Amino acid sequence: MLNNTENNKSINLTGATNESNDQGKIDNIVVPNHQGQVSHIAVDIGGSMAKIVYFTTNEGLRGGRLNFEAFETDNIDKFIRFIESLVSTKKQLPSSNFSANQTSSKDLKERLNHDVSFQTNNNDDIEDNSIKFPEDSPTYGKPIIKATGGGAHLFKDKIEERVKVKVQTEDEMECLITENENPVFESIPKEDMFPYMLVNIGSGVSIIKVTSETKYERISGTSLGGGTFWGLLHLLTGASKFDDMLELSKSGDNSKIDMMVGDIYGTDYDKIGLKATAIASTMGGVYRKNLNKTYNDADIARSLLYMVSNSIGQIAYLNAQLHGINKIYFGGYFIRGHRLTMHTLSYAINFWSKGTMNARFMRHEGFLGAVGAFIKADPSILPDKPAHKARGGSITENFIYTQGLAKESISGLGTLDRLSSKLLPLPQLILCSHNPHPLFKHQIKNKAKRYSSSINSEGFNYNPDTFDLLNNVSLREKWISNLENNTENIIQMANKGKLSLNNILKTDTLIKFQKMYLEKLQTAKLIPSAFGKLSVRILLNLREQSLSEVGCTDLFLNTKILENESSLALLPNILKNLDDIKDTKELITTLIKGMLIGNMFDWGSNEIQKMIQSEQYTIDFKIFQDKIKFESSFNNAHILVDKLLTNKPYKKALIFVDNAGADTFLGVLPFARFLLSQGTSVILAANSQPALNDITFDDLMNNLIKVAQFDEIINKKINDGSLVVIGTGSSNPCLDLSRLNERLVLQSHDVDFIIIVGAGRAIITNFYAMFSVDSLKVTVFKSSITAEPLGGKEYDSVYTMLCSKSKFRPCIDLHSGKVKQIVGGTLTDDNESLKENFVALESSAYYANLYKTHSLTGGHVIMLGPGNEQAAIEALSASPGILQIGGGINIDNAQKWLDYGASKVIVTSWLFTDNKFDFSKLERLEKVIGKDKLVVDLRKHSDSWVVAINKWQTKTDLEITEGIEDLQKVNDLSNGKVDLTIGSALDIFGGSKIKFSDCVKWNS
């Protein structure tokens, strides 16, 4: 059930039933025979609805599940009885449940996985099992329930008396924001998130402005909310249940109740942009049409829903305008994934903003406050609680049992499974960029349609998914059909004995899996947004969840064992043949072809499955030698060959491996062995848990130990720590590089070469992923369904090398309110020795717009002394989110500059006390704005990097030639890791040695 870094038990589903209401929505999942313990309970009691979040675990196992329930507040006794049932199963959890260790017994295995007990930046041992829980933890003493919402105060005494617990109330606004900002739950990059406005729609509406992880304020609200809709509709129709009311509105026709623009004008009112179908007066049609007529309840419900939603949408937009915010998120139980409600709010924001803003919605939007209170109940989930590092985890949504799904729903709500390890972004992953993606021009050239929203001509945001199945109906239907066939192939292979099931996992178990998974695929057909933003990765993850749910945790285990054994038997001879190749270029080329051919041995491919069924499958590279098109438009292997021949070796390579057997041991391992022999350290990253025939990190370690017994290089590199194996934290044939095992992330901080192997990891996901270091994607288009949308053909090889490159970063130096270039070292407090190289006639906004027009990012605005604030604000306003700001920045004004539009703040002098760096100041500032928004200015002095303070008066010895060659020099020396800013030598600043156009050309 849980995709943890260890084997885990599923919830006991014997006798499980779904309690459904009249509309077929799941209200409760009843699991009578599950013995899991309830460890944490948090509630959010509003004026209309009481929501509860509780966390269940299996004793002795890591991870757990976050469950959601809701009751009408009028039925508070039923709500309390439910809490009583949870508390009766609640018991203290041993801290070892949350240990993050991965144990090894053999010496070589320990060296492969050598960094078991690793240190965090806070010097907290991840393996510390002697955790001391705080007194407010639910595992300490008397059971504690964290509660938020107005009802938390109203019913506090009643709950404490009835349930015999201690209720600790938490601030409602803080809980809303806590849930939103916690990195365990968030799926929105921080760079794209702040500032934003949260419109929480419960009985009433609260509007909150959020400018950072810790700074927020309630800026407005309205009494017109979900309670208004509920109350009025009950008075008018007699309906009493909120879900019934929402269901009623779906079939209604508001034009029979409302006065429409067409009723007044007979047609559209084009002059002011109003369509005939726009509402002119809510319920105004009643007295115009027939006062004595009996009106349909559904029509009334739809009219009221539009009235409330439209009003909230307009109020939200006006507040966003007033506060200069362009991101509006809606939450609250009123929404409930209801298509009509979400459409109306979206339409209102789009209409009033004239298309410049979009409404955004949270998943589990009805439980924001309850989840925030849950985080308060379980401090281990917070990133700033070093005492609880060993208990940290991450959350993933499991859609096996989904609430809130009906034909007209926008989405359903899955349970949230908590993984025992934290999942963090790969350090070298570029999460967002304002520069066009390098493959964008390639797409246009090959006339490939764009199936992902992650890249466009204006910029790039990391999205692991290449294919957007939510908005592309044709591609969605093709993939669902493909996976239906793939599932049937798996059943057929099992029937023919190709999948060796053990005594417990009979074929009928696979039939249960087939039924469960096909039902999910049908749901995706009918309600494409049911499982979030639909992608191939989501569909494949549903397959793994379905297999796990019926007990098939490693369906291909015996197959992988046989393939690994067969591959290891062939490996000594292959390594000998490779070692006999004396020409290095020929050797590298042979290794490249070996990686591509090896990746064809993928049991997830429909073609391979057919070969297996027809008894034609064998591990023989000759089978695919002639099929693969090595010379394809996706293959630029010559770049890697040239680099490996001419450049110094990479320091450390990170290789994400794919399939067990030939792919990993006959394709990837020989290439990794070559890198090791050149002096490069290698991390092999494999799935933490099984998925199809993908190799797991446990299997990889065990088989590498066998390789070490006959290969001296592998044996030596394991022993000296140059070769290690780490789990990715994933159990999916795809890969989300923003959610990786914390240990892998920490070990990868100095990686300068990233290799991603396999179609699931390099095509279906991460085809557009960009990195700050050199990267290589290795696979083959094994089907037309992946090739054609990207402009490729079946069997085209993908060997795509992207090299990191030093960039030109622009600058705007401000002095006395003007853009200037000042001779280094002449700027002092009294300005007596000031020497100016250049004083611009144009404003700071002119330069900001110039940089924006040419897609130049990462530049900075520096305020050299007083009198520059207005010019700085103008520059940031002209190019929001692109320029950094420095000069006089401190803890009191840093957030203000971010609000003005700075992408980051450059802080230097304030961090020093008596000319000594004050780490306590840095920590305080980080808590206010977050480390992602903070830059400390470094300058080269003597043989070390030092911090320049006091208006750059520190001397430097960095010699430059004042030519465009400097960019090439810096690129070569830093291997593309260091960017360069050019000042007075640039022609736009009066210089004659470097053309601005040449710098733009260099970057592009």
What pLDDT was estimated at residue 77?
A: 93
Residue where one domain finishes, among candidates 774, 802, 830: 802
Q: Are residues 720 and 837 in the same domain?
A: no
- Domain identity same for 786 and 869: no
Q: 970-977, long-range: CB within 8 Å, 24+ apart, which pairs?
A: 970/806, 971/805, 971/806, 974/806, 975/647, 975/752, 975/773, 975/774, 975/804, 976/773, 976/774, 976/803, 976/804, 976/805, 976/806, 977/752, 977/772, 977/773, 977/804, 977/806
Overall average pLDDT of the 746-753 stretch: 94
Residue 599 lies in a domain: yes
Q: Same domain for 732 and 864?
A: no
* Residue reference for tokens 């939007």: 365
Residue 547: the pLDDT is 87
Are both 976 and 856 inside the same structural domain? yes
Local structure of residue 143 (DSSP, 8 states): -
Contacting residues for 136 by C-beta, under 8 A, at least 6 apart: 144, 168, 379
How far apart CA 35 and CA 39 sit, in angstroms, is 13
Domain count for the chain:
3
Q: How many CB atoms lie within 10 A of CB 12?
A: 15
Please report whether residue 323 resides in a domain. no
pTM: 0.69
Q: Has residue 293 been placed in a domain?
A: no
How would you classify the pairing of strands 26-30 and 753-757? unpaired
Rounded (5°) CA angle 199-204-206: 35
Question: pLDDT tens-digit profile of 48-71?
Answer: 889 998 887 765 555 667 788 888
Residue 680 lies in domain: 558-610+625-802
Radius of gyration over every alpha carbon of the chain, rounded to an integer in angstroms? 30
Give the pLDDT of residue 490: 84
- Other C-beta atoms closer than 10 Å to the C-beta of 354 total 8
Q: Which of 737, 771, 802 is the last residue of a domain?
A: 802
Query: Is residue 189 included in any domain, yes or no?
Result: no
Each residue of 343-385: pLDDT tens digit?
888 888 988 888 888 888 776 777 888 888 887 776 554 444 4
Candidates 604, 511, 598; CA nearest to 556 is: 604
Determine the distance from the C-alpha atom of residue 284 to the mean position of all C-alpha atoms in its chain, rounded to a whole number. 46
Clarify whether residues 890 and 934 are in a common domain. Answer: yes
Which of 399, 484, 764, 791 lies closest to 602, judged by CA? 764
Q: Are residues 744 and 605 in the same domain?
A: yes
| Cβ atoms of 560 and 567 closer than 8 Å | no
Phi, psi (rounded to 5 degrees) for 264 = -90, -45
What 3-state class would DSSP assign to 716?
helix
Residue 288, pLDDT above cutoff 50: yes
Could you tell me if 349 and 359 are in contact, meaning their C-beta atoms sit under 8 angstroms apart? Answer: yes
Helix (H, G, I), strand (E, B) or coil at 860: strand
Q: Rounded distance, CA 242 to CA 230, Å?
A: 7
Q: Answer whether residue 289 is part of any domain.
A: no
Average of pLDDT values for 515-536? 86
Report the alpha-carbon distance of residue 642 to residue 585 in Å, rounded: 9
Q: What is the pLDDT of residues 84-109, one digit of tens each?
A: 888 876 544 333 333 333 333 346 66
Q: What CA–CA distance (Å, rounded) separates 896 from 771? A: 30
Do residue 787 and residue 825 come from a single domain?
Answer: no
Average pLDDT over residues 505-517: 81
476 near 451, Cβ under 8 Å? no
Do residue 43 and residue 134 come from a single domain?
yes
- Check whether residue 876 and residue 931 sit in a common domain: yes
- Per-residue pLDDT band for 390 (boundaries 50, 70, 90) equals very low
Reference 566, options 467, 662, 492, 683; nearest CA is 662
Instruction: Tell me how long the chain is.
Output: 1004
Regarding whether 860 and 788 lie in a shared domain, the answer is no
Looking at residue 754, which CATH number applies to its domain?
Answer: 3.40.50.10880
Cβ(255)–Cβ(282) under 8 Å? no
Of 778, 802, 826, the residue that ends a domain is 802
Whether residues 849 and 756 fall in one domain: no
Give me the chain's average pLDDT, please.
78
Q: What is the pLDDT of residues 924-982, one digit of tens each?
A: 888 888 777 888 765 444 444 444 434 444 333 333 444 666 666 666 666 666 677 77
d(CA 932, CA 948): 21
In a domain, 30, yes or no: yes
Cα distances (Å, whole numbers) of residue 749 to 123, 443, 683, 744:
16, 32, 12, 9
> Do 783 and 852 reside in the same domain of the chain?
no
Which one, of 25, 78, 17, lies nearest residue 52 by Cα? 78
Do residues 56 and 64 lie in contact, with contact meaning Cβ atoms separated by under 8 Å? yes
Q: What is the CATH number of the domain that holds 84?
A: 3.30.420.40
Sort 614 into a burial class: Cβ within 10 Å, 0-12 / 13-18 / 19+. Answer: exposed
Which tens digit of pLDDT belongs to each residue from 191-203?
A: 567 788 999 998 9
Q: Which of 364, 305, 353, 301 is nearest to 331 (CA)?
A: 364
Amino acid 903: pLDDT: 87
